[in-house]
Structure 1
Amino acid sequence: MKVWLRASVAMIALAGGAHAAIAQTAAAPDPVANQQADSPTAADPQDGASEIVVTGIRQSLARAAEIKRESTAVVDSIVAEDIGKLPDLTTASALQRVPGVQVVVGGNNEIVGARIRGLDDIVTTLNGREIFTGVGRGFAFQDLPAEALAGVDVYKSNSAERIEGGVAGGVNLRLRRALDFKELTLSGSARATYLQEAGSKNTINPAVSLLAANRWSTGIGDIAAMASLSYQRNEYARPIAWNDWTRSTNAAPGSTTPNLQSPTGFAAATEFGHYERPQANFSVEWAPDTSTKIYVEGLYAGYRGNVFQARPTFRGFTATSFQAQAGDTCEDFAVGPDGYYTSNLRGPANPTGTGTIQRLCNATGYTARNLEYYTATVANKASTDIYVMATGFNKEFGALTWNTDFSYESSTSRNNSFRVDIGKRIPELIQVRDVDHEVQATMPGNPMNDPAGLTFVNGMTEDINRSRGTLWSVMSDMKYDFDGVLDYIQGGVRVARRKADFEQYLGGPPAPGGSFVTPLATAGLPADILAQAPGVPQMNEGASFLQIDPEYLLKESIKRQFRTLYRISPDTPAFDPTRDYDAQEKAYAGFLQAGYAFGLSDTISVDGMVGARLTRTDRTIAGAGRVTDPVTSTSRVVLVNRSTSDTDLLPNASARIKFGGGLQARFNYSKTLSRPSFGQLNPGLSYVVSYVNTIQNSGSGGNPDLKPQKADSYDASLEYYFGRSNYVSAVAFYRDIKDRVITGTEVRTIDSLQYVISTPRNLGSAKIKGIEVGGQLFLDFLPEGLDGAGLIGNFTIIDSEVTTPGDRLQGLPLLGVSKYNFNAGLIYEKYGVSARAIYTYRSQYFDADITNGLSLRPVSIPVGLNGIRAAGRLDFGLNYDLTSNITVSLAGTNVTGQRTRNFESREDFVREVRNDDTTYSLGVRFNF
């Protein structure tokens, strides 16, 4: 698709910095959008060059490069080539092409979790207004279809007029507006996507969009209206296989091979199902004269999903015979009485410790006979509804510009999850532990596909939750332009009121009579209660197996049957008040900023800005926690209500030096902050007693004493623009971060039981620095036919370090940060053909602190971390213009079948493999 071409193009045009003239006021005119509306072509932005008309991908690249070049801040932009034609199929996919942006693959095979230079503390705005999902601070980019966008701006440095809230930076999503269109316009698209992964082999996933706009010249000025709709539905499957926590084989009752460290078992899962995303947005604008614009605009973005999981688990250490194959790597491990990791080692300083140092060799695989097996079936019904409404005006009084915007957002998410486990003993499990992360396991005869002997296992669990966030905001700013060294002065205010509330029920009873006691066949459930689950390639070579039919678990009548069977009330559980929290936050901000510009010589000039933003946040959050004694079932509730206030001054300064001939440099400084999410601040504590002895008792809690993260950010770039839309650039950056928030684990004893509690904390200090290089080159010098080719690429190296003295992560890289990532691509556009192939790579990184987990690790590794191996994806797009108004397209993602592979602390401690999907899309687009 041109979509694909645009992505890489735009992404490259991003590498340096562009300050889009969206001021604090959301609806201020966007120069790039206006440029797109005002002319179907764009001039190449080169000093002294004659105007050269370019179209299509080339045009979108030229626009993005011009934003980059004319900026006084560090901003990268993705510009839609045409209406509804962002470079990639999804917003998050397009973002991965931006220099320094790193992403992950989500559970439903979508690209999610964008990070700017390794950091995920991003403030997201929609047409300049803050937007979020549920009760979080961030926005799920995948919830806004790419067809809705005119472009995306990625801010890597801050300036005073920008809404505060992102240590990493900000992303502004730009919708089209009514006055972008000069005449009656009708545009639309239809796309069918084929997903190759198991469970979706015969499924074609549709996506459609339609936009209509018109402009009328009347006696009271120009009036314009625009409406856009889109819809997509995806059936998908994502299989996963993993080794369970490693443990000393000395603790396996049936072990005949002692003194080894081996996984306690093998597990797999397939997440499958379908989701839908409807979206609509509109814009009505009135321009009574050339100096005035009044507008009303709105957005609805929705998500509906029925998500299922089949999770077979094999408890190798429950086998009556367990024989492992010894490897040649032997090390010292800290081992507790249960064979798992412990920090409570016995020694002179701790004579009552229960753990010892044991010399263990690695197990490369094992065979377990007569072992316990179960499959967990999870059915989840989820929905998200986001509504945004805004109105305001832009007015010019000669050199004075005044912008004011009023907006409201409501974001509600609902999830209803129901889980039932069934299992039995099976004759044999043969598992291979492979350094290359190709986890493999075989169960001869596939006994999991035989209903004979199936019983209820573990417990039944329901997770019902609802979260809702609202935001009222008013922004107003003024800017006065001068004709001299002082270029302009601007100032403004913003007042915002945010509310967030969360409700949840989480829990359920153990299996009736205990695990492996009550036969499924005697439960009185429908005769067809069992269904075939999609297979996992690493388990029995992808053979299917039986699970509870997840479609049944969506039906309230069946849920009532299960609740009765599990000896609790058949009614839907009410929300647990001790898991709820309510938050209210008022934010006040004011800014003052001045721009300057002057010449040093006939060819050298300097411009930039200096400013500061003053913010105050008043917040109240109320929550509770319940602590339950598992023996007496008595509990006590602790209510917590906490109020906090923060006042921060955020200065910024920038300078751009233009040397002439297309060469320029820029320098930026800004102080940024990120506020903790409401979930992180929730003062309540909740926990779950595990029904499975190989799964830890666990819990989670917030930390109301969390402080905002802050960073001093420095950027410097050198850029050279030449030829027709070509450039190369290099950007160096440095971040000094204070009070970085991470989520870690700590062991707590509650009512004499140990729990591993997941809780956020302020890390202290950290530093991150790096270099981004990028460029694009169109090969106009080649012979006719070949002169439509071009090269695009960028490369980022990031060095990060936790610098908090005494913290267990001191000296280690920041979690979630890859040291290297790059994009490299080829494009072609001529004779109505547009084509792109691009490879995106991200190096190894660690994403979680598992120091207090059960899994063994050598004493030479004091900190346990979950790691993700390096990986790359190859995508392509091919488009052909049937006419000047109709284009057909073919696109593919992850065509090399790259998988996500996890490990614990180091790569030979294999953890899991996730089978990322390969997709192919065929589409048509029209524009009249």
Structure 2
Amino acid sequence: MSAHPTGRHAASPRMQIKLTVAILAGAGILSSASVWAQNAQAVAEQEAAAPVSAVTSVTVTGVRRAAQSAQNIKKNADDVIDSIVAEEAGKFPDKNVAEILGRVTGVQIRREGGEASSVIIRGLPGLTTLLNGREVYTSGGRNLYLADIPTTMLSRIDVYKTQSAEMVEGGTAGVVDVRTARPFDFAGFSGNLATRVEDRDKSNTRDPQVSGMVSNRWKTAYGDFGALFGLSYQLGRYHDEATWSSPPSNTVTSDPTITAPFDMGHTNSRGERTRYAGNWAFQWRPSNTVELYAEGWSTRIDHDMERQFMISGLGWNANSKYTLFPGTRQVDTVTSTGNLNALSSNQTPQDDSETHQAAIGGRWNVSPSLKVTSEFVRTYSKWQQEMPIMEMSAHPTTVTASTYKNGGAYYDYPGYNMMDPSNYTLGAFIDNWSSTRGSSNDWRGDVTWNAGEEHFFREFSGGVRLAKRKASYQHESANFLGVPETGLPAVTSLPGLTCPSMPLANDYGMNRWLVICEQYQHANLDAWRKMYGRDGKTAPDPYSLYNNSEDTTAFYGKTRFGFDAGKVPIEGTLGVRVVKTELDVKGFSRNLRDEPVPVHRNVSDTDVLPNLTLKASLTDKLIARFNAGKAIQRPAFGDFNPGVSLGATPDGLGIYGGSGGNPDLKPVTGKNADLALEWYFAPTGSLTATVFKHKFENYIIRSLALETIDGKQYRMDRPRNVNKGQLEGVEFGYRQFFDFLPGWLGGFGMEANYTYLKGHLVDGGKEVPFAGLSKNSYNIVGLYERGPLSARLAYNWRSKFVDTFNYRTLAAPVGPLDLVVDPIKTADASISYRVTDNLGFTLDVENLLDRTYHDYHGIASNPRDIRRYDRVVGLTMRLKF
């Protein structure tokens, strides 16, 4: 190590620690994808372990220690980053990664299907997911479905708002890096076991979950060895419900200026999701200068679901009687008589998914100043689904409906028994299946040379990454089977065919109806196919089939520098990443004779991605940052598919549905700038503000447009690039434990954050909103920790947003419609008690407010969905040994 220079830097213990970590890094720094975040973690752990203050008696454990570590990672990092650190091995306040991220500044999530699902950063979906700094994904997608990672195997989660040159490219909105534990993270033997039971109110289920991890390390004549194994099992059964109205249209024949839905419906969804996950790691350090490792992670998910639809045509005719909302031309209530259509449809998808990743690599400290790392990664993921849809028709003669009662679509069939199987006839059969595969080989090598803290240029690093990625997809052909000319049996002649639907939790008129039983559908699938004139599973649809191959070659160079501006120390990094991407797209398009024609496209792009960071230590507690850089986001593989998928039945306006891809898509380019001011006034106290601006080129959106194919009109959903867009905003974050309060009051703490976003895309010369962008969002988390007791109460709110822009193009006077989502608010709570140092219990409640999801057609008085979800109560026991 270089001798200590004289002057300001020699007196900084934090800088000494950082320099030591940079040279003598252990297993946590095996690739340079997150080098400085991991350096910050090492500093954070040492600072968090120190006493809080000579005048306090607060013990730094659990929640406080995790908050200190997360705060110090943010403070010491070069990039704009937010981290969540485990309170202890595998202990987080939520059960999967996606749920945790919902409380990070600038991050929003959706919760449906029994758990948190999609994750967006600063209102945008263009993020990259990493596992221990490595690219990871689900099947043919670009990103990992983050709910698939249980928190029990994690050490921390890093959310990057900016990207350094050494990081894997691909996130214009940000990067989520999930870090698992390794054996050298522990001093010796360590083990834990967590068991949990969840009670859900709407599904009325009680489900078990169990996870465990063991780790050990040994000193031998051949060096230090370490091994770690972790396993997780989760069962989750859930219930979601929705009531909905179709878009307003000119259905009132006597007055075309009046708008009303053509039909309404109820949807009950229930599912059973079984998730298995495991991770393992081996480390060998034969000397202080060499370390080798192998580690991996796997997950498997079996997800059986049932979606029970009742679709009610409102029977608009000359005799329909209706009322209007006062002062509008919108229908409020309607009563129709005649030969009505009521469709019972049961979708029963069964999904199987698995992902595996393994890595081998090593680190060699060639000298005190020179470090070399190398790593090879293999990833494989697949997903497949069978989703038969079986339908029956009921034949009521009268319907009464209100377009907005109890918050949603309300309708009933007076005098008609919807629970009598003799009132139903068999309808269409939709025989769906699909599958996708993804795999990659990924090698990278990195070199870091430390020049010493006394120089302006203190460190130089560079590296190369070679990756080959493959993705494929296919689904069935001719999935729609109508009623054959020979007819179908009576519903009452098939034993075990029908079941009562799940009851709706809220009052929306008709509460239950009959559906074809989920068990019957899968047990009799081949026999049902024969009844509709088909033998076995159909061949793939050639228009759905694609096989894509993507080769990536990336080089980067980076320097870390430092100087003084007067009495203010300045640190910074300057780097550039050059990425060449060669994409080979193979699929099929349709010619004028309705025949498949092979399509083969080769595309090659080279992107230069510069990045600059500056960090000024204005005082020991006040830091200013500036980050600027360029990032790219590649389109989803499926978006390149030149084929189309066409629906078989029209809607009430006689228009069919369809979707397709676009082999000419370009990657999204983002030019990002962040300016931050951060005040760290206590070991667990901070106030931060960040102003940011992103400019985009070739942003990808999906939009609907009417197309005529084979003489029929289709409302086609396709991806396309728009010329440009921009997003700007500000983030505020606050964290503090009130240690200065007397006695038990000193256990209270708070975390809060707020994000303001403003942006638009330019499409055809017109400014349009980003889909999913809420202008305002905030989180407030109340914390308490005193002795063996800790508690948390979290509230999350985000303002309304456009889910889909121009998702229905209708004739005047209705015109184009956006699908808008009302503000979403969620509250969760937990309380933990540590019986001994090795045994603790946690009781938590998710969805305290019994939230609803409400979206609407353009204006709030034209609702589409009202959705309700389970309230979940969980009891967890944690045991350390």
User: Structure 2 matches for 1:414-813, cutoff 5 A?
Assistant: 414-434=384-404, 437-444=407-414, 447-457=417-427, 459-483=428-452, 484-513=455-484, 518=488, 520-521=490-491, 525=494, 527-538=495-506, 540=508, 543-555=511-523, 558-566=524-532, 568-602=533-567, 604-626=568-590, 635-690=594-649, 693=652, 696-804=655-763, 806-807=764-765, 810-813=766-769
Kept in 2: contact 1:34–1:180 (CA 8 A): no
The corresponding residue for 1:189 is 194
SS of residue matched to 2:421? coil
The corresponding residue for 1:337 is none
| Shift of residue 627, structure 1, vs aligned partner | 6.9
- Residue range with higher mean Cα deviation, 665-674 or 315-324: 315-324
SS of residue matched to 2:774? coil
User: Structure 2 matches for 1:175-574, cutoff 5 A?
Assistant: 175-197=180-202, 200-201=203-204, 203-251=205-253, 259-317=257-315, 321-330=319-328, 361-370=329-338, 371-397=340-366, 398-434=368-404, 437-444=407-414, 447-457=417-427, 459-483=428-452, 484-513=455-484, 518=488, 520-521=490-491, 525=494, 527-538=495-506, 540=508, 543-555=511-523, 558-566=524-532, 568-574=533-539
1:61 aligned residue (47, 58, 67): 67
| Shift of residue 554, structure 1, vs aligned partner | 1.5
User: C-alpha distance in 2, partners of 1:897/1:913?
Assistant: 13
Q: What letter corresponds to residue 872 of structure 2 in structure 1?
A: T
Q: Cα deviation per residue 1:261-298 (whole Å; 9 max; x = unaligned)?
A: 11112111111120111000000000111222100001
Are positions 1:140 and 2:145 aligned together? yes
Kept in 2: contact 1:639–1:684 (CA 8 A): no
Q: What letter corresponds to residue 208 of structure 1 in structure 2?
A: V
User: C-alpha distance in 1, partners of 2:379/2:317?
Assistant: 55
User: C-alpha distance in 2, partners of 1:67/1:265?
Assistant: 54
Q: What letter corresponds to residue 770 of structure 2 in structure 1?
A: L
SS of residue matched to 1:147? helix
User: C-alpha distance in 2, partners of 1:450/1:300?
Assistant: 47
Are positions 1:826 and 2:750 aligned together? no
| Shift of residue 36, structure 1, vs aligned partner | 10
Q: What letter corresponds to residue 849 of structure 1 in structure 2?
A: F
| Shift of residue 540, structure 1, vs aligned partner | 4.8
User: C-alpha distance in 2, partners of 1:182/1:691?
Assistant: 65
User: C-alpha distance in 2, partners of 1:852/1:39?
Assistant: 57
Gaps of 5+ in 2: 1-21
| Shift of residue 96, structure 1, vs aligned partner | 0.8
The verdict on how the C-alpha distance between 1:37 and 1:841 changes in structure 2, with shifts beyond 3 A counting, is closer
User: C-alpha distance in 1, partners of 2:670/2:379?
Assistant: 28
| Shift of residue 763, structure 1, vs aligned partner | 1.3
TM-score between both structures, scaled by the size of structure 2? 0.92
Q: What letter corresponds to residue 260 of structure 1 in structure 2?
A: I
SS of residue matched to 1:433? strand
- Residue range with higher mean Cα deviation, 396-405 or 693-702: 693-702
Kept in 2: contact 1:25–1:405 (CA 8 A): no
| Shift of residue 659, structure 1, vs aligned partner | 1.2
User: C-alpha distance in 1, partners of 2:757/2:654?
Assistant: 36
The corresponding residue for 1:73 is 79
User: C-alpha distance in 1, partners of 2:287/2:159?
Assistant: 32
- Residue range with higher mean Cα deviation, 443-452 or 506-515: 506-515
Q: What letter corresponds to residue 662 of structure 2 in structure 1?
A: N
User: C-alpha distance in 1, partners of 2:51/2:596?
Assistant: 66
Q: What letter corresponds to residue 276 of structure 2 in structure 1?
A: P
User: C-alpha distance in 2, partners of 1:49/1:282?
Assistant: 43
SS of residue matched to 1:803? strand
Q: What letter corresponds to residue 298 of structure 1 in structure 2?
A: G
Q: Cα deviation per residue 1:806-845 (whole Å; 9 max; x = unaligned)?
A: 34xx223211111011001211000211100010001100
SS of residue matched to 2:70? helix
User: C-alpha distance in 1, partners of 2:442/2:687?
Assistant: 40
The corresponding residue for 1:898 is 851
Larger RCO (CA within 8 A; separation ≥ 6): 1
Kept in 2: contact 1:446–1:540 (CA 8 A): no
| Shift of residue 88, structure 1, vs aligned partner | 1.4
Are positions 1:95 and 2:95 aligned together? no
SS of residue matched to 2:860? strand
1:920 aligned residue (867, 873, 880): 873
The corresponding residue for 2:38 is 31
The corresponding residue for 2:13 is none
| Shift of residue 543, structure 1, vs aligned partner | 3.0
Gaps of 5+ in 1: 1-18, 331-360, 629-633
Q: What letter corresponds to residue 831 of structure 1 in structure 2?
A: G
User: C-alpha distance in 1, partners of 2:280/2:94?
Assistant: 22
SS of residue matched to 1:469? strand
User: C-alpha distance in 2, partners of 1:495/1:520?
Assistant: 61
User: Structure 2 matches for 1:1-16, cutoff 5 A?
Assistant: none
| Shift of residue 549, structure 1, vs aligned partner | 0.5
User: C-alpha distance in 2, partners of 1:665/1:857?
Assistant: 53
TM-score between both structures, scaled by the size of structure 1? 0.88
User: C-alpha distance in 1, partners of 2:757/2:682?
Assistant: 31
Kept in 2: contact 1:529–1:548 (CA 8 A): yes
Kept in 1: contact 2:37–2:77 (CA 8 A): no
Kept in 2: contact 1:27–1:405 (CA 8 A): no
The verdict on how the C-alpha distance between 1:850 and 1:506 changes in structure 2, with shifts beyond 3 A counting, is farther
Are positions 1:885 and 2:838 aligned together? yes
The verdict on how the C-alpha distance between 1:378 and 1:734 changes in structure 2, with shifts beyond 3 A counting, is same
User: C-alpha distance in 1, partners of 2:216/2:784?
Assistant: 33
Kept in 2: contact 1:291–1:396 (CA 8 A): yes
Q: What letter corresponds to residue 753 of structure 2 in structure 1?
A: N
Q: What letter corresponds to residue 296 of structure 1 in structure 2?
A: A
Kept in 1: contact 2:244–2:408 (CA 8 A): no
SS of residue matched to 2:67? helix
| Shift of residue 39, structure 1, vs aligned partner | 7.2
Kept in 2: contact 1:624–1:640 (CA 8 A): yes
- Residue range with higher mean Cα deviation, 582-591 or 619-628: 619-628
User: C-alpha distance in 2, partners of 1:276/1:575?
Assistant: 28
| Shift of residue 440, structure 1, vs aligned partner | 2.4
Q: What letter corresponds to residue 208 of structure 2 in structure 1?
A: P
User: C-alpha distance in 2, partners of 1:446/1:178?
Assistant: 66
Kept in 1: contact 2:30–2:375 (CA 8 A): no
The corresponding residue for 1:866 is 819
User: C-alpha distance in 1, partners of 2:559/2:450?
Assistant: 10
Q: What letter corresponds to residue 613 of structure 1 in structure 2?
A: R
User: C-alpha distance in 1, partners of 2:813/2:839?
Assistant: 62
Q: What letter corresponds to residue 599 of structure 1 in structure 2?
A: D
Q: What letter corresponds to residue 424 of structure 2 in structure 1?
A: L
The verdict on how the C-alpha distance between 1:668 and 1:39 changes in structure 2, with shifts beyond 3 A counting, is closer
| Shift of residue 23, structure 1, vs aligned partner | 7.9
Calculate percent identity across the aligned residue pairs: 28
The verdict on how the C-alpha distance between 1:599 and 1:591 changes in structure 2, with shifts beyond 3 A counting, is same
1:115 aligned residue (111, 116, 120): 120
The corresponding residue for 2:18 is none
Aligned residues: 852
Kept in 2: contact 1:37–1:182 (CA 8 A): no
SS of residue matched to 2:534? coil
User: C-alpha distance in 2, partners of 1:443/1:191?
Assistant: 44
SS of residue matched to 1:206? strand
The corresponding residue for 2:4 is none
